[in-house]
């Protein structure tokens, strides 16, 4: 079962690399970075299950904040480099400390906060892009479920499946949001052209 779910997570990570093309450029970088982290988790779970928990702690601490950055960049605007770098450095330290000491809260606390941030960011888009907003919120819930699953049982198949669902779902939501933004911009440009033509 672990091998199958690891393969599913790996497939989701590969799919995200390509699906991220549809998201905004600022979000695309974050999505692909997170996908590679989850691909590493999938490989560790399939090849070296004894170290999967340690790898999962690192991935949870780093990948979920990166996905929160992606949600913010995809739904609203890109974060300023300085605070993003500072936050990423802090969560990296938390993940390393968690893997080294076995204190999972160092990794799961930023992971849970990041999932909650994704939920809030997605909810704010409900009026502007309803379907993308719902997809984003469901993805955030899946990521919260993955953190809860790890807290209870470690890097189990359930944890891998929830992670795959959250990663893939958020990527699809951001790609859809980008399409909606392009359509709205095109409509605004068309209306502006019509107004100018009428005025002429």
DSSP letter string over 56-69?
HHHHHHHHHHHHHH
Question: For the chain, what percent of residues have pLDDT higher than 90?
Answer: 61
What is the tens place of the pLDDT at every residue in 142-156? 999 999 999 998 889
Residue 156's CATH number: 1.20.1070
Structural domain of residue 61, as residue ranges? 2-199
Q: Which of 13-22, 89-98, 181-190 has the lowest mean pLDDT?
A: 181-190
Helices (H), the chain: 2-19, 25-47, 52-75, 81-101, 105-123, 130-153, 157-199
| 193 — pLDDT class (breaks 50, 70, 90) | very low
Q: What's the Cα-to-Cα distance from 162 to each of 12, 13, 80, rounded to whole Å?
A: 11, 13, 30
Q: Region 39-53: what's the mean pLDDT? A: 91
The angle at the Cα of 99, spanning 65 to 32, to the nearest 5 degrees, equals: 35
Which distant-in-sequence residues (6+ apart) come within 8 Å of 62 by Cβ?
37, 88, 91, 92, 95
Distance CA 27, CA 179 (A): 13
Domain total for the chain?
Answer: 1
How many angstroms separate the CA atoms of 183 and 131, rounded?
15
What's the pLDDT tens digit per position in 178-187?
Answer: 665 434 444 4
């Amino acid at each position: 079962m672990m091998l199958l779910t690891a393969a599913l997570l790996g497939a989701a990570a590969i799919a995200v690399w390509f699906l991220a093309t549809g998201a905004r450029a600022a979000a695309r970088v974050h999505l692909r970075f997170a996908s590679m982290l989850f691909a590493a988790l999938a490989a560790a779970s399939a090849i070296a299950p004894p170290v999967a928990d340690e790898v999962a702690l690192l991935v949870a601490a780093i990948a979920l904040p990166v996905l929160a950055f992606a949600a913010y960049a995809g739904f609203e605007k890109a974060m300023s480099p300085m605070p993003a770098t500072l936050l990423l450095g802090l969560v990296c330290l938390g993940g390393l400390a968690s893997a080294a000491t076995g204190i999972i809260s160092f990794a799961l606390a930023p992971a849970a906060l990041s999932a909650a941030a994704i939920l809030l960011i997605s909810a704010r888009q409900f009026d502007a892009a309803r379907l993308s907003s719902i997809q984003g919120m469901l993805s955030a819930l899946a990521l919260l479920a993955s953190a809860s699953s790890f807290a209870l049982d470690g890097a189990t198949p359930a944890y891998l499946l929830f992670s795959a669902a959250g990663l893939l779902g958020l990527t699809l939501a951001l790609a859809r949001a980008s399409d909606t933004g392009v359509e709205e911009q095109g409509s605004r440009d068309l209306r502006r052209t019509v107004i100018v033509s009428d005025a002429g």
